[in-house]
Amino acid sequence: MTDRPHLDPTAFTAADKARLIEEALDTLRGANAIDERDTLTAETWVAWYDATIPTVTELKVLVAAMERELEVRRGQAVLQEGERRGGDQKSEEIKVSQRETLIHAERVTRSQDRQLGRAAPQVRAWIAREATAGRVPTRRGALTVAGIALKSMQKSPRRPMPTESAANRGFQMAAVKRIDRVQRLREFFDRVGDGTQRSEGELRRAAHQFDVDLTKLLWSVPFIPWVMMERDEAGTTFTIDEELRAICEGRAPRPELEGRSIRDFVRTFRAELTRRREENHDAFHKRKWNSELILKREQSRLLDWIEEQLNRLP
């Protein structure tokens, strides 16, 4: 192939473009890159040229780009043929024609073309970049790009978004598993939470019976408020606060006092006690020092009030 003089794309007429495409097609036919049965016309290639590499005027770059595009199309055709024959099986994909199944080299070529067809978007983008930069897009380079793209797709496959029904089923299954796990923990503590000291072996046998991970359980016990655990060299003792357990599990109401929780009552009680002590202290310091003038009556009233409030606690 002889190099043509570089043409200015801005002065490149439609006739010049058509002649360049025809010459490239002739070159490909002469090199057997296109056989006699190829139905692609020069007009079709002009449309591809305008959409892909409109600034390329060098014949050898254009010929190589067109050849790579043909290889991508052949690979896509092989993939479609495999799907029509019942899947992407190698033994089916290579049977596009009887002539090609007889030559091992052509089998290898078709296998490579399949790679180009699978990574068609990435390979075509690379062809356009190389040709626009004035570099000849080689088959080896195209296969390298395809290999990288396919490995990337294999490492990070796109998972389809779950449908609403699938998400609901997954949520329900997780809820069922969670309920089952909680139930097994309850049964385990019902068995061992009697205040009896047990050895490590006894605990492991009980954990195995209820399908409980003992190691994880021991780490999580401090976060279960109604379970008290004591461990020493002799063994482990679990004690259950049944009243607190009933409250935590919603089987008993939290203790209340006149519609308020015990915590709110104690907070209010403390604030009022502080206020009365400060009031009594201020009244005491307003008087001149005299032991007979100590506000004993106020102190007695304060103590009576404290006793009255504490008697209200359940």
Q: Could you report the per-residue pLDDT of 114-162, keeping only the tens digit for each?
A: 888 888 888 889 988 888 888 888 888 888 888 888 888 776 556 666 6
Provide the residue ranges of all domains of the chain, joining segments of one domain with +.
9-155, 164-248, 256-311
Q: What 8-state DSSP symbol labels residue 161?
A: P
Q: In what order do the strands lie in the sheet with 194-198?
A: 194-198, 236-240, 227-231
pLDDT level of residue 197 (50, 70, 90 thresholds): very high
3-class SS string, 112-151: HHHHHHHCHHHHHHHHHHHHHCCCCCCHHHHHHHHHHHHH
Whether residue 193 is predicted with pLDDT greater than 80 in this model: the reply is yes
Band of residue 36 on the pLDDT scale cut at 50, 70, 90: very low
Beta bridge partners of 198: 236
Full-prediction pTM beyond 0.85?
A: no
pLDDT over threshold 60, residue 211: yes
For domain 164-248, is the CATH number 3.30.450? no
Q: What is the maximal distance between C-alpha atoms in the chain? A: 129
| pLDDT exceeds 50 at position 282 | yes
Q: What is the dihedral of CA 184, 187, 192, 194, to 10 degrees?
A: 150
Q: What's the mean pLDDT in 184-191?
A: 88
Quick one: pLDDT at residue 229?
92
3-class state of residue 188 by DSSP? helix
Distance, CA of 30 to CA of 137 (rounded, Å) = 19
Quick: pLDDT tens for 216-258.
Answer: 888 888 888 899 999 988 899 999 998 888 888 788 877 666 6
Q: Is 295 within 8 Å of 283 (Cβ atoms)?
A: yes
Q: How far apart are CA 76 and CA 246, in angstroms?
A: 67
Helix, strand or coil, per DSSP, at residue 261:
strand
Q: From residue 81, give the alpha-carbon distance in Å to each of 30, 193, 246.
A: 27, 68, 68
Q: How far apart are CA 236 and CA 234, in angstroms?
A: 7
SS3 assignment, position 157: coil
Give the residue from 282, 263, 275 showing the smallest Cα distance to 302. 275
Partnered with residue 239 across adjacent β-strands are: 194, 228
